Amino acid sequence: MELTGAQALLESLKHEGVDIIFGYPGGVVLPLYDAMFSDKRIKHVLVRHEQGAAHAADGYARATGKVGVCLATSGPGATNLTTGIANAHMDSIPMIAITGQVATSLLGRDSFQEADVTGLTMPISKHNYLIKKAADLPQTIKEAFYVARSGRPGPVVIDIPKDVFTSKIDYKYPDKVDIPSYKPRTEGHPKQIALAVKAIQAAKKPVIYAGGGVIAANAAGELKELAEKCNIPVTTTLMGIGAFPETSELSLGMLGMHGTAYANYAVTDSDLLIAIGARFDDRVTGHIAKFAPNAKIIHLDIDPAEIGKNVRVDIPIVGDVKKVLRALLDKIGPKEKHVQWVEQIDDWKKKYPLSYKKDSQLKPQYIIEQTYEMTKDRDTIIATEVGQNQMWAAMFYKYTKARSFISSGGLGTMGFGLPAANGAQFGRPDALVIDFAGDGSIQMNIQELTTAVNHKLPIKIFVLNNSFLGMVRQWQELIYDKHYSHTQLCNNPDLVKIAEAYGAAGFRVTKPEEVRGALEQAFAINDRPVLIDFVIAKEENVFPFVPPGQPINEMIID
């Protein structure tokens, strides 16, 4: 059948199972928006900033496991997507970013709203395309989704000139993809798996270190089975939160700079570290030469480039996490219970629990604990902004399911949480979606409240308001002798009034005894977003804290 390039793009997206696009229109993408006016099979969500579109697509992908799709026009529209593209790239999130481009006859002429999107996004995407012929659209879309989903997931950028949207083609969607230079290995090498089995059986003090790759591979069930079968404690990265139930006695919580003391001590003292879908980033390892100094390391990852990149690895296994874990489980028998090791970890847990000073001030940890108590039996997704709010949410809420924690890890993007929460709510409309935010980060993309209001998204935004850029201030306190240089947020706006101006519900909490009532009130509102401005202790810090460059077992605990 004969279709325009714009119609062919929509038809191709439907073939890939796309049901929603987050976008913002502009001149060169008007042919595509005109096609969407007639063809409403794919829902379009109008955001209020292109960065919000990228983060919403990212949040949708994290919450559902599907590929998120965002759309922007040429020039500044495309460049506004780049922070969100880089964010998805750092955290290995499958996403398709479609950008409009000036007509092919105007390329390279510094035309109005022209930007070199392929050049800009090459280092921050898994792959990118500039389509110069409408006939190439179907095959390119097929390849792009395959690349985004397969192997180590990631964002793929498709830049489409205006005349490609309007050209007509004889449309046929391909039924397969064959990219000779791209063949991700999914099956682990049998010899390496045998070596891993032998190492696990010989270990006296093993620890599993699980990252976001476990969630990406939908392998949380296999991880739990391995941990319980071999009685091995599990610690997770920030991106791995939810991959292993934190209510389990084997859970060590998160490790690293703001990890639990017992996770950091266990990793440091271990004789076998089983890294699964993790990349040994600096926030996890601290002083890298002193990271797990006595441990043999098994590293299981689908991306061979990550193995050996940051730490020495004794047993590398390249393959799909789910398949390799299943192969391990099929070959390994139940292990002795590591009684002394488990007792040592239990002793650390009793001696160094996650705690905070309880007094008359409103503490963020208390707010998160109460949120957990009131939502633990519901299908709940926690999104976060970046900073202290993010770390407190990671530490004081107990996560038991994969895809229940959505946060910017590698890039640390302020302004991520609100649009990501919107995307998560679109993807999982029956879930309770909560965004923990700081008063600094919420203002980065606060315009996305309009998106939530227009679509009656019942997201809850809990602002932990300390009138500071909290995490930066904490570093200034602990490392720079309390030189609070430009981190105090003077003349902060009234966030409750802002929420109400957008059409959301808003109220303020200043005392601990008001918390549960406010949460009950927020959870009862289901026809619009709710923002609660929690006015918390101004100089509350996140502990434990490993100072930069120090080994992870040398923490400031409180």
CA distances from 359 to 27, 100, 356, 513, 536 (A): 56, 55, 10, 12, 12
What's residue 493's pLDDT? 96
Round the CA-based radius of gyration of the chain to a whole number and report it: 24
What's residue 333's pLDDT? 83
Same topology for domains 2-170 and 190-351, yes or no? yes
What are the residues whose beta carbons fall under 8 Å from the beta carbon of 8, sequence distance 6 or more?
Answer: 134, 137, 138, 169, 171
Residue 465, Cα to own-chain centre: how many angstroms?
Answer: 23
| Residue extents of the structural domains in the chain | 2-170, 190-351, 364-535
What's residue 542's pLDDT? 97
**Helix residue ranges, H only, 408-494:** 417-427, 449-454, 470-479
**Helix residue ranges, H only, 468-537:** 470-479, 495-502, 515-523
What's residue 337's pLDDT? 80
What's residue 288's pLDDT? 95
Active site residues: 50, 112-113, 162, 471
**HEC states along 130-172?**
ECCCHHHHHHHHHHHHHHHHCCCCCEEEEEEEHHHHHCEEECC
Q: Is 477 in contact with 543 (CB distance < 8 Å)?
A: no
What's residue 42's pLDDT? 98
What's residue 334's pLDDT? 78
What's residue 335's pLDDT? 73
Measured between its terminal Cα atoms, the distance across the chain in Å is 68
What's residue 373's pLDDT? 98
Taking the CB of residue 190, how many other CB atoms lie within 10 A of it?
Answer: 10
CA dihedral 289, 292, 294, 299 (to 10 degrees): -100
DSSP state letter for 287: S
Query: Per CATH, is 190-351 categorized as 3.40.190.10?
Result: no
Q: Tokens representing 361? A: 């001030």
Task: Flag residues of the chain having pLDDT under 70.
Answer: none
What digits encode the pLDDT tens for the residues 503-528?
999 999 999 999 999 999 999 999 99
Which of these, 401, 399, 405, 396, lies nearest to 369 by C-alpha position?
396
**What percentage of residues in the chain have a pLDDT greater than 90?**
98
* Topology of the domain comprising 364-535: Rossmann fold (3.40.50)
What's residue 287's pLDDT? 96
What digits encode the pLDDT tens for the residues 24-73?
999 999 999 999 999 999 999 999 999 999 999 999 999 999 999 999 99
What's residue 181's pLDDT? 92
Q: Tokens representing 401? A: 């399911």
Q: Rounded to an integer, what distance in angstroms lies between the CA atom of residue 337 and that of residue 325? A: 20
Q: Rounded to an integer, what distance in angstroms lies between the CA atom of residue 167 and that of residue 297? A: 55
Q: Rounded to an integer, what distance in angstroms lies between the CA atom of residue 268 and that of residue 36? A: 55
User: Which superfamily does 2-170 belong to?
Assistant: Thiamin diphosphate (ThDP)-binding fold, Pyr/PP domains (3.40.50.970)
Taking the CB of residue 498, how many other CB atoms lie within 10 A of it?
Answer: 17
Q: Is 237 in contact with 254 (CB distance < 8 Å)?
A: yes
